[in-house]
Amino acid sequence: MKNPFCIVGSGPAGVSCAKALLARGERVILLDGGVELESDKRRIVEKMRGLAPERWSESDLKTITGATAPTHKGIPIKYAFGSEFPYRDTRIPTSGAQVEVLRSLAKGGLSNVWGAAVLPYTAREMKGWPIEEKDLAPHYKAVLEFMPLAAEADDLSEYFPLYQETNKPIELSAQATDLLTHLTRNRFRLRKTGFEFGRARLAVHQTSDRRCRSCGLCLTGCPYESIYCTMETLDALMRNPNFIYTPGWVVETFKEEADKVSVRGSQDGKIVHLDCQKIFLAAGCVSPTQIVLRSLNAFGTARPFKTSQHFILPLLQKFASKKVTTESLNALSQIFIEVFGVSAEPSPIHLQVYSYSPLYGQALSRMVGPLGKA
């Protein structure tokens, strides 16, 4: 029997790769750190999942949200249900004082803590790539066969196709509704200056059993599992007899030989080896780079990383929206605004608009100190 294909990492890239290989009838083994949420917190989340938000206890809420400490600069680290398990044992020292690199050994990777916002690449962004926008289209469709998408057809569809029928979009907050109304009223003027906008596209379930309940806990962990996490796809893959999931593995090196690839790593503190046909390093950009450099014995080699710049900016409305702090809402992005400009720049500026969250009040209170209690 031929050796299986090997995939490293259980995040979005890893499960997508596994789905494609299994669809071709291949045997697949997925090596993963496999770190999971602590059992005591998991029991609390399971209890909350069976209750309506108004029936949750204060102690349970504090357990899964209390670790998040927002400031006026943002959230220092995004916990999942009050746990740092997505980042456990993965911190990487860096030379830049303002740089912190996060990776994950968790089952599901960083999809445990992502913001669920999704968009395809535009043709402008792919200038200089070895492939074109049309080459990615069938793969977007393949991913959307197992990943939910809450969205609607709007002006953004001209630049960012939906690629399939979607779930209905999540209900907007009062603030977002007012802003979208204002943007729509000025739609033609905005288009002339290179602004496009529409409802946020989110990888969120909207089916009856996993629909968004507008409980506001999106940034600390959704008890109803409405926000897509690759753990759910991984669990489905485990029912395929050609698929093996191996947690506890940390890949160190690989060696390409004439008829196989030899993989070396550690599992539960022991050195382990595995032979496979091919290896797919699907664990982000940092860990695979380390694995490749270590495999080539290229220690002390510098490799630059490019990253998009992120800024958090306050947004003020001329008129106040009603019941902002008391309405039931979700805390994910509500509106996308794309700034293309009037010239043919290669990449648009992507803006995600969020409305009120109780975390904002906590951040402001910490900023003003005792004055916040006045």
Proportion of the chain above pLDDT 90, given as a percent: 64
For residue 98, is pLDDT > 70? no
- Please identify which residue in the block is written with the tokens 């070396």: 264
Over residues 51-63, the mean pLDDT reads 93
Cβ neighbours of residue 287 closer than 8 Å, sequence gap 6 or more: 8, 9, 103, 281
Is residue 268 a contact partner of residue 21, using CB atoms and an 8 Å limit? no
- Across 14-23, 84-93, 154-163, 342-351, the highest mean pLDDT is recorded for 14-23
Report which of residues 19 and 340 the model is more confident about. 19
Position 92 confidence tier, pLDDT thresholds 50, 70, 90 = low
Question: Which pLDDT score is estimated for 202?
Answer: 96
When mean pLDDT is compared across 8-12, 164-168, 225-229, the lowest value belongs to 164-168
- What b/e string do you get for 160-183 counting C-beta neighbours within 10 Å, with b at 16 or more? bebbeebbebbebbbbbebbbeeb
Residues 278-307: tens digit of each pLDDT:
999 999 888 999 999 999 999 888 888 877
3-state SS, the chain, equals CCCCEEEECCCHHHHHHHHHHHHCCCCEEEECCCECCCHHHHHHHHHHHCCCHHHCCHHHHHHHHCCCCCECCECCCCCECCECHHHCCCCECCCCCCCCECCCCECCHHHHCCCCECCCCCCHHHCCCCCCHHHHHHHHHHHCCCCCCECCCCHHHHCCCCCCCCECCCCCCHHHHHHHHHHHHCHHHHHHCCEEEEECCECECCCCCCCCCCECCCCCCCCCCCECCHHHHHHHHCCCCCEEEECCEEEEEEEECCCCEEEEEEECCEEEEEEECCEEECCCCHHHHHHHHHHCCCCCCCCCCCCCCCCCCCCCCCCCCCCCCCCCECCCCCEEEEECCCCCCCCCEEEEECCCCHHHHHHHHHHHHHHHHC
Residue 368 has pLDDT above 80, yes or no: no
Across the range 63-74, mean pLDDT stands at 79
| Tokens describing residue 80 | 């999942």
- The residue-averaged pLDDT of 130-134 equals 92
Condensed to tens digits (0 to 9), the pLDDT of residues 169-214 reads 889 999 999 999 999 999 999 999 889 999 999 999 988 788 889 8
Residue with the two structure tokens 């602004």: 195
pLDDT of 298 reads 92
Question: Is 50 exceeded by the pLDDT of residue 372?
Answer: yes
Which residues make Cβ contacts (< 8 Å) with residue 301, sequence separation at least 6? 293
Q: What is the pLDDT of residue 374?
A: 46
Mean pLDDT of the chain: 89
pLDDT of res. 36:
96
